[in-house]
Homo-oligomer: A and B are copies of this chain.
Amino acid sequence: MYAFLSGKRIILVSRSPRRIQLLNQIKLPFEVAPGLFEEGLVSRKTPAEYACHQALQKALSVVSQYPEAFLIGADTVVVDEQGILEKPVNPADACQMLRRLRGKTHQVITGVAVVATGKTGKDVKYLVRYESTEVRMRALSEEEIQGYVRTGEPMDKAGAYAIQGVGALLVEGINGCYYNVVGLPLVLLMKMLKEMTR
């Protein structure tokens, strides 16, 4: 299935266990490199520009270590009409985020960067794209929000929920790519890898 990659090394520049699990799911051979990039809000960008910027910076941060490889960077943000929701800083913050999202549709945007490095690791080519998925959250009761936050699951998740976990029970439905919501839009990534090998 991955003959088009011609055996080129694929490096996922991410510490996210979800992204690692998703590439295992599609049986793509890959290695993991933790990015050397500090995450942080960049001002004056749209959420999609922000996610793309972060994704590219992650991938570029290890360029010199991986010559002749494809480096994959990704960054996922949760967005409503008020702006970007980051990871909650504590359980009270998680409750506040879920109160903000309940009973409404929000967007999940993942920026994806594929960086192809040359022989020296310096001559790079790259592609950056993003995928956006609508998520409709149920009208959660206060009891449900507190019960979910007590599971501990929201604490390291943007927007304070994990659709691939117990958080499945919070989501009425989605419109778009499910894996984008988990953290890595697999179909988009595969299109980008194919484009890079052309």
Contact = CB atoms under 8 A, between A and B. Distances in A.
Interface in A161-193: 163-166, 168-169, 171-179, 186-187, 190
Interface in A136-178: 138, 147-148, 151, 163-166, 168-169, 171-178
Contacts of A1: 147-148, 151, 166
Given A172-B177, A173-B177, 19 more contacts: A1-B148, A1-B151, A26-B169, A27-B151, A138-B187, A163-B178, A168-B179, A168-B186, A168-B187, A169-B186, A169-B190, A171-B177, A171-B178, A173-B175, A173-B176, A174-B174, A174-B175, A174-B178, A175-B175
A82 interface: no
A25 interface: yes
Copies in the complex: 2
Nearest to A134: B175
10 contacts: A25-B164, A25-B168, A168-B186, A169-B187, A169-B190, A171-B178, A173-B176, A173-B177, A174-B175, A174-B176
Contact of A25 (B165, B176, B179, B186): B165
A171 B186 CA distance: 9
Interface string A76-103: 0000000000000000000000000000
